[in-house]
Amino acid sequence: MIICFLLLSVILFVIPVSCAAVFFLCLPYFLISERKRRIGLSLSGCVSYFSALAAAGISPENICVSVCSSETDGFFDDIRPEFSEILKQVRFFGKDFRTAVLERAERTVSPELSDFLSGTADVIDSGGDFSAFLRERKKECMRQSEIRQRRKMQSADLYAETASIVFLGAPMFFLILFYLMAPLSGNQDRMITVLTYVIIPGTGLIFLIIAEPPE
């Protein structure tokens, strides 16, 4: 009896602690992934905005100021902190704009934004045509957006097929199996209850966690 009590105590302690440890270890990864995803989604529109202002002869630094202004509220909320950090380095720490852009390119979590900022710094350094650079970058962002949407549709198809198998086929299979085994192994009400109230909801929760958020 004492051994069972100790074993139960260990299980009740180890399982919650392990779940909490896994949660806190995985949380930064999920936050970074979500941040990277949101920046990637906002980058295409931001580059188009850059291109439109650059065609009017506005400098890259002033374009960053425009992106961070209140006039663009609701458009670049996910990517605005990146450019705000660039302006902060210029205004408060006295760094030149190119250096601040390169530092942000090294620190951002998004490879796409890092590549864009690095290209911007190279154009500023070489004195090249910023408008032409942005036009090419806009085309590249559109291609990447199409690829991302195509992958999203493929993932949605896969999730739909998985959900139909897990939530429709598997429960029906096990219910039929339990009823067929009832004459041999006795009452299967407990197993059916566990399947209905534990396994199916738990599987649904896992499915919601691993499924990609809508874009």
| pLDDT at residue number 60 | 86
Tell me, yes or no, whether 164 lies in a domain: yes
- Do 33 and 99 belong to one domain? yes
- Do 26 and 100 belong to one domain? yes
Q: What's the CA gap between 74 and 82, in Å, rounded? A: 15
CA distances from 19 to 22, 24, 195 (A): 5, 9, 22
| pLDDT at residue number 6 | 55
Tell me, yes or no, whether 137 lies in a domain: no
Q: What's the CA gap between 137 and 140, in Å, rounded? A: 5
| pLDDT at residue number 13 | 63
| pLDDT at residue number 127 | 80
List the pLDDT tens digit at each of the 215 positions of the chain: 555 555 555 555 666 666 676 667 777 777 888 888 888 888 888 888 888 888 888 888 888 888 888 777 777 788 888 888 999 998 888 888 888 989 898 888 888 888 888 988 888 888 888 888 888 888 888 888 788 778 778 777 777 777 777 777 777 777 777 777 766 666 666 777 777 777 777 777 776 666 655 44
In the chain, how many domains are there?
2
- Do 27 and 89 belong to one domain? yes
| pLDDT at residue number 180 | 73
| pLDDT at residue number 214 | 46
Spatial CB neighbours of 12, under 8 Å, sequence gap ≥ 6: none
Query: Are residues 130 and 60 in contact, defined by beta-carbon separation less than 8 angstroms?
Result: yes
Place of tokens 């440890």: 21
- Do 45 and 81 belong to one domain? yes
- Do 72 and 174 belong to one domain? no
- Do 38 and 92 belong to one domain? yes
Note down the domain range covering 165: 156-211
Q: Of 91, 111, 128, which residue sits at a domain end?
A: 128
Spatial CB neighbours of 142, under 8 Å, sequence gap ≥ 6: 44
Place of tokens 């809508």: 214
Total residue length of the chain: 215
Record the pTM.
Answer: 0.65
